[in-house]
Amino acid sequence: MANVLVNAPKTAKKGEIVEIKALIMHVMETGYRPGTNGRIIPRNIIGDFTATWNGREIFRMKMSPAIAANPFVSFAAIASESGTIAFRWSGDEGFVAEHQVSITVT
Amino acid sequence: MTGLRLAAVLLAVFAASFALAQGDPRRSGYREMGPALQKMQDDDAANPAMLFVQAGAAAWAEKAAAGKSCADCHGDATASMKGVAARYPAFSAEAGKPIDLEGRINLCRTTHQQAEALAPESDGLLALSAYVALQSRGQPIAPPDDARLSNLRAEGAELYKRRQGQLNLSCANCHDDHAGRKLAGATIPQGHPTGYPIYRLEWQALGSLKRRLRNCVIGMRAEPWSYDAADYLALESFLMQRAKGMAMDAPGVRP
Amino acid sequence: MTLRRPESPFRRLGGESGLSEAKSRDPFFRQRRKGRSTTLGATVGRRAFLAHAAAVAASVTIVPFAAHATPEALAAAIKEVTGGKPLREGKVTLDLPPLVENGNTVPLSVKVDSPMTADDHIKAIHVFNEKNPQPHVFNAWLSPANGRAFIATRIKLADAQKVVAIAETGKGEFWTAHAEVIVTIAACIEDIT
């Protein structure tokens, strides 16, 4: 299972802008480097990252090989309603990782 | 009256330690980094080493072959492991020789947990050592006052000054004589092991002090030692003694 | 001389003149006229140390890619996003360290001045570079639900170069900012073996 570290507040006031940070363990192999045998190591990256709030998309990102290993993304969101913030990373070699956190909005 | 005297004594102690801190010419690798990388290390939600710490916390509670987890003996690591990483390498009566933190973890595994030793630089070993080292964050490096470590430290000190490799350089050539100056774009650090294991951007991964030392040996164009070589333990022991009293900042981020 | 740097994020090949370039980049080299070092041993003066330092630096000197993005490729990638509409400077704040300590992981953030309302918001933030093997870094899609037009991430930069951020508004306007970044290199490399 993929190792994911998400940081989001557990509670927020309605209408407040919260900052969400998401880290995931992944090599982000660029596909441009030769390995010890001199052959190019095949590309293996996360290409897509999405975040949804109670199923509604709040952030989407398309990554290229120029995103650093163990990708870190931080973005803002308006605390709209209590529920679940869900994250999904997908990429080469069938990679998929999902994670969710709950948030109480008062 | 007693209270006043105590206050005066405390003030004097504080002043002395402050003066000492001001006068201490030692600088950690953290202090040599730019603000962007310091910020990356300081924010636990951004420090990539925290991914390994999270895995280490899970491994701490995981039962091994003998049905025992680290937690079964050591309890809550945030209490029991506080300051522990700051004291290694240390002499182990159990092993009958000095061992470093990774050695201690593997000794626990092979004896108390009846599990396989974790390979050097494996994710499993790095995760556990990062989790244990985190509990010493902010603690002063406190090498044991143990005569059984003297020989090893002396050996390390000698090794630190010994020129080696095709470039005929010693550790001291860079990290004493030219520390604080630039080699290519990088500031040469004084080489204090305050942040290990570190997430080194050059590696794009977490690595131990051994890996960093091995990396330096390769930089000197010398034949790198294997991970079980006693040379590492000697250098580690010397470097921790040299950094005595400096605050731990593990798990660090370094360029 | 073929240079190999297995831990680098991208392939680096070629580099006949690595040593001289390394010397010119090496602060030790500039100081060599100041005389012999008093801190080094009696038998080895500054000159010898310089030679060593230059040799260390030479192995990690950044050299051109066999193939890398060009200003033309950058322009083409930008056009894919803008469809040729004009780019206006302003509103966008692109934050990168001016001096990058290691190109493998470079903290980057983009902030755009926008009320993020239904009528007036930033729909997307795109980041491009000039000298990596390809010009794309990332595209991020936002909406008024974000409240703030902001993204922070970490990127790879293979060389000192220009990084361009473009913000696309809900109305289809494009705002931009760019940064010139100096990428320094780790002084000590490690081979994989």
| Cα nearest neighbour of C60 on chain B | B184
* Gap between the Cα atoms of B62 and B66, Å rounded: 11
Q: What is the pLDDT of residue C26?
A: 32
Q: What is the domain range of residue B199?
A: 28-43+140-254
C107 interface with B at CB cutoff 8 Å: yes
Average pLDDT along chain B: 92
DSSP per residue over C53-112, as a string?
A: HHHHHHTT-----SS---HHHHHHHHHHHHTTPPEEE-SEEEE--SEES-TTSEEEEEEE
Cβ–Cβ gap A7/B205 under 8 Å: no
Same domain flag for B39 and B129: no
Top-confidence residue, B63 or C186: B63
A96-105 and A11-12: which strand pairing? parallel
HEC profile for A39-76?
Answer: CECCCECEEEEEEEECCEEEEEEEECCCECCCCEEEEE
Residues B250 and B167 in one domain: yes
Query: At B183, is the pLDDT very low, low, confident or very high (cuts 50, 70, 90)?
Result: confident
Chains that touch B (3 or more CB pairs under 8 A): A, C
pLDDT digit string (tens) for A27-39?
A: 999 999 888 888 9
User: What average pLDDT does range A37-56 have in this prediction?
Assistant: 96
Asked if residue B10 belongs to a domain, the reply is no
B5 within some domain: no
Q: How far is C175 from chain A (nearest CA, A)?
A: 19
For residue A59, give the nearest of C142, C154, C157 by CB distance: C142
Coil vs helix vs strand at C39: coil
pLDDT score for C42: 36
In a domain, residue B20? The reply is no
Average pLDDT over residues B72-93: 97
Q: Which residue of C8, C59, C99, C105 is the best one to mutate when testing the B interface, meaning the one whose CB has the most B CBs within 10 A?
A: C105
**In the prediction, which pLDDT does B204 show?**
94
Of A33, A56, A66, the CB nearest to C132: A66
Q: Domain end: B99, B118, B134, which one?
A: B134
Distances (CA, A) of A2 to A50, B75, B134, C78: 16, 26, 22, 33
Q: Which pLDDT band holds residue B65 (cuts at 50, 70, 90)?
A: confident
Q: Is B13 inside any structural domain?
A: no
Q: Which CATH superfamily is domain A4-105 in?
A: Immunoglobulins (2.60.40.10)
pLDDT score recorded for residue B36: 94
pLDDT band at B19 (very low <50, low <70, confident <90, very high): very low
**Shortest CA distance from C131: residue in chain A:** A66
How far from each other are the two terminal CA atoms of chain C, in whole angstroms?
20
pLDDT digit string, tens, across residues C137-190? 999 999 999 999 999 999 999 989 999 999 999 999 999 999 999 998 766 667
The reply to whether B108 falls in a domain is yes
Burial B69-78 (b: 16+ CB within 10 A, else e): ebeeeeeebe
What is the average pLDDT value for chain A, to the nearest integer? 96
Q: Distances in Å between the alpha carbon of B71 and those of B50, B76, B93?
A: 20, 6, 22
Closest alpha carbon to C124 in C156, C157, C78: C78
Nearest by CB to A5, which of B51, B204, B205? B51
In a domain, B196, yes or no: yes
Q: Which domains does chain C have, with CATH numbers?
A: 1-67 (no CATH), 71-183 (2.60.40.2470)
- According to the model, what pLDDT value does residue B20 have? 53
Query: B170 with B215, same domain?
Result: yes
CATH code for the domain in which residue B39 is found: 1.10.760.10
What is the per-residue pLDDT for B195?
A: 98
Q: 10 Å Cβ neighbour count for B178? A: 19
- Check A23 against B204: CB less than 8 A apart: no
Q: What is the pLDDT of residues B148-181, one digit of tens each?
A: 999 999 999 999 999 999 999 999 999 999 999 9
ipTM of the predicted structure? 0.95
Last residue of a domain, one of B134, B150, B170: B134
pLDDT at residue A54 above 90? yes
Q: Is B11 a member of any domain?
A: no
**Tens digits of residue pLDDT in A57-95:** 999 999 999 999 999 999 999 999 999 999 999 999 999
Domain final residue pick, B134, B151, B173: B134
Tell me the pLDDT tens digit for each residue of C21-37. 333 333 333 333 333 33
Q: What is the pLDDT of residues B101-113, one digit of tens each?
A: 999 999 999 999 9
Domain count, chain B: 2
Contact between chains at C187 and B178 (C-beta distance less than 8 A): no
For residues B146 and B225, state if they share a domain. yes
A35 contacts in chain C (CB < 8 Å):
6, 192
